[in-house]
Structure formats: C-alpha cells, structure tokens
Amino acid sequence: MLGWQIRKQGLIAPKPAVVPRGYASCWTNYNKEIKIEMTNGNTLLIAFGIVILNIIIDHLFAPIGLILTPIILIIVSFLIAFQTYKIKPIWKSILTFGLVALHDIGIKLYGGGSHDIEGQLWVHMLLFIGLFPTFGILLTSILRDGNESVLNLVISALIFPILIFTYLHFFSELGIGRHYW
C-alpha cells in the first residue's frame, strides 16, 4: 500500500493540521484534535492569576514570592505583549503597567514578615530587575506592530515608564510598618 492509502484507511494517524495562531492543540488517543482558543480574556485572566498566585505565595512563604518578582513580571509582560491579539500598543502598555503595579502593591501590603526600609529596598531592587526585561519585551511588541502611526508607537513606548515613575513617586513607601508573622 502507498502512504496515502494507509493514511486514508486510518492505519496511521493523520498528519497534524496547522494550528492557527491563538489556539493550543492537543491530540487524543482517538486521533481527534482538541483546540483551546486563547482569547484575550483568557490570556489576561492567566496573567492576573499568576500575579495573584505570587502575592499569595509571598504572604504564606515570605521571601519566595519576593524573589520570584522578576520572573513573574517577565512572564506577565510576555503574555500581554505576545499572546494578545488586536489590542492597540497603548493598551498593552497600560495593561502591563496595571499588572506590574498590582503585583507591587500586593507584595508591599500582603507580603510576609516585617516591612521596614531595608525590606522596601529589596522590593524595589527586585522590581527594577524585573522592569528592565519587561520594558524590553513591551518595546519589542510595540515596535513590531506596523499598523500604528509613529506617534502612537512613541506614545505607547513612553507611557509605560511614565506610569511606573508616577506610581513609584507616590507609592514607593507603601506598606512600611506592617508586620505579618
């Protein structure tokens, strides 16, 4: 028998189809493909869940969530930058800032241990270690979008650092004096 005849009779599993962008693909035992659509809502929900999970981990197992801050920020920014579709770059910057600020607020308010100036320095150091790759990922995503005007791309690239600077200016000492034992 020829290869196509064997495949036609079902003796060999068919070649996997090309999965469109935004779908996850999985083959079952019965050669049926299951497609899970990764919509923008699902992606944002996963990113939000990762941030909340790390805040809970930091509350229960004090230094672990804080140490994971750069990794969490990189994962969240990657999800927003490259796994969302048809979202304008300005909104990608705002969503990324929102999740970064939510993570920082959660760590500062609900992190385990005593919150003093030295602890705030550790929080800010790990935040900035995570912010540099986060901004690089966001900038890469913004510059890859060829459908926007140059002005929108410049605004999108500048809005994230401006929002981070404003947030840290007003809330850099958030959570000092709290004790969770």
What confidence tens digit (pLDDT) does each residue in 88-111 have? 999 999 999 999 999 999 999 998
Mean pLDDT of 51-57: 96
The structure's pTM equals 0.78
Could you tell me the pLDDT band of residue 177, with boundaries at 50, 70 and 90? confident
Could you tell me the pLDDT band of residue 20, with boundaries at 50, 70 and 90? low
- Pull the structure tokens for residue 1: 């028998």
Residue 156: predicted pLDDT: 94
| Whole-number Å distance between alpha carbons of 57 and 9 | 52
Q: Do 12 and 62 belong to one domain?
A: no
**Are 36 and 23 in contact, with CB atoms under 8 Å apart?**
yes
Q: Do 118 and 99 belong to one domain?
A: yes
| Whole-number Å distance between alpha carbons of 31 and 14 | 8
Residue 89: predicted pLDDT: 94
Q: Do 51 and 28 belong to one domain?
A: no
Q: Do 100 and 27 belong to one domain?
A: no
pLDDT tens-digit series, residues 142-176: 999 888 899 999 999 999 999 999 999 999 988 88
Please state the domain count of the chain.
2
Is the pLDDT at 4 greater than 50? The verdict is no
Q: Do 143 and 68 belong to one domain?
A: yes
Residue 30: predicted pLDDT: 54
| Whole-number Å distance between alpha carbons of 141 and 87 | 11
**Are 25 and 35 in contact, with CB atoms under 8 Å apart?**
yes
Using left for φ > 0, alpha for ψ between -120 and 50, and beta otherwise, residue 177 falls in left
Q: Bridge-partner residues for 34, per DSSP?
A: 26
What value does the mean pLDDT of the chain take? 84
Cα dihedral sign, 111-113-114-117? negative
Q: Do 57 and 25 belong to one domain?
A: no
Q: Do 104 and 24 belong to one domain?
A: no
Q: Do 133 and 44 belong to one domain?
A: yes
| Whole-number Å distance between alpha carbons of 84 and 6 | 40
Q: Do 13 and 92 belong to one domain?
A: no
Which residue range forms the structural domain that includes residue 15?
3-37
Q: Do 31 and 64 belong to one domain?
A: no
Query: Is 108 in a helix, a strand, or coil?
Result: helix
| Centroid of chain to Cα 89 | 15
Q: Do 88 and 125 belong to one domain?
A: yes
Q: Do 16 and 77 belong to one domain?
A: no
